[in-house]
Amino acid sequence: MIPVALGSRNPNKVRGTELAFRLAGFRVNVISVEPPNDLSPEPIGLSEIINGAVKRARYAINMVQSADFGVGIEAGILRIEGFNEGIDVTIASIIDSDGEITLGMSPGFMVPKRFMNKVLQGIELNNVVSGYYGEPNLGRRYGLVGALTRRFIDRVVLNTEAVYMALIPRMPWNTELFRGS
């Protein structure tokens, strides 16, 4: 079993990480740790989302000395010029003991304008969504995507896809392609 440190205690992120590694053919033991406390509560923009994922992964691998990999998963909103809505995406970062980082991203979906307006006022998306649907802490369960799709797709799916995409360069048949030229 390969020890993998995850920079989150969110059960959706733990499950998504376990599934992605298993689907990629790795047998892992995911060890979740509290993430660093200086993360943005609602990352907006590609750089902020990626930086949050990388920070979580680095922090996790440093907290679990026995870990072969650190994983960080960060959901956030991409703003698209000319649109009032944002696109919600999940980005995963995987770092190994040599410091090599690989990234992956989930599919994205539009955030409703009424939610986006509140996020731009500084309210965390999870709080907006939980208030609207009347369900506390929706983000730790099926999330906005689950509510919008009537649970056809949930946060576990997006987390799994993001981590799996970040694993592509680490798959044995791909490592030669992703090494230096």
Res 180 pLDDT > 90: no
pLDDT digits (tens, 9 = 90+) for 66-106: 999 999 999 999 998 888 789 999 999 999 999 999 999 99
The model's pTM is 0.95
CA distance 154 to 7: 20
Q: Is residue 75 classed as helix, strand or coil in its secondary structure?
A: strand
Which amino acid makes up residue 68?
D
Dihedral sign, Cα of residue 30, residue 36, residue 40, residue 45:
negative
Q: What counts of helices (H) and strands (E) characterise the chain? A: 7, 6
Buried b (16+ CB within 10 A) or exposed e, 118-145: bbeeeeebbbbbbeeeeeeebbebbbbb
Q: Please, what are the domains in the chain?
A: 2-108+154-174 (3.90.950.10)
Q: Is residue 5 classed as helix, strand or coil in its secondary structure?
A: strand
pLDDT of residue 181: 55
**Averaged pLDDT of the chain:** 94
Q: What angle do CA 14, 107, 8 make, to 5 degrees?
A: 20
- pLDDT, average across residues 135-153: 90
